[in-house]
Amino acid sequence: MVITFELGVEDLADTRFALSPLNETVLSLRVLREPGLSALHLPWRRSVLRSLGELDGFDAGLLLSLVAERRTVPDFLTPRPEGFAPTFEEELAVVRRTAPAVVRRDLLDTHLPDPPPEPLRTALDRAGDTAVRRLRDALCELLRRYWEIAVRPEWPGMRMLLEADMTYRARRLALGGARLLFADMHPSLRWHRGVLHIADMIGRHHVLASGRGLLLLPSVFAHKPAPPLSPDGAPTLAYPCRGVATLWSRPPVVEAPALTALVGAAKARLLTMLDEPLATVELARRLRVTPSAVSQHLRVLHANGLVARARDGRQVLYRRTSLGGRLAGGGGGGGREQAGGGAGE
Report whether pLDDT(331) > 70.
no
Say if pTM beats, i.e. exceeds, 0.85: no
Region 140-156: what's the mean pLDDT?
Answer: 94
Tell me the pLDDT of the chain averaged across its residues.
Answer: 86
Report whether pLDDT(59) > 60.
yes
H-state helical runs in the chain:
9-13, 21-33, 42-52, 60-64, 88-96, 100-111, 118-125, 130-146, 155-183, 257-263, 265-273, 280-287, 291-303, 322-328
- pLDDT higher for 262 or 207? 207
- pLDDT higher for 82 or 330? 82
- pLDDT higher for 266 or 132? 132
pLDDT band at 75 (very low <50, low <70, confident <90, very high): very high
- pLDDT higher for 229 or 91? 91
Q: Which of 208, 282, 215 is nearest to 245 (CA)?
A: 282
- pLDDT higher for 320 or 22? 22
Region 115-137: what's the mean pLDDT?
Answer: 90
pLDDT band at 160 (very low <50, low <70, confident <90, very high): confident
SS3 state at 254: coil
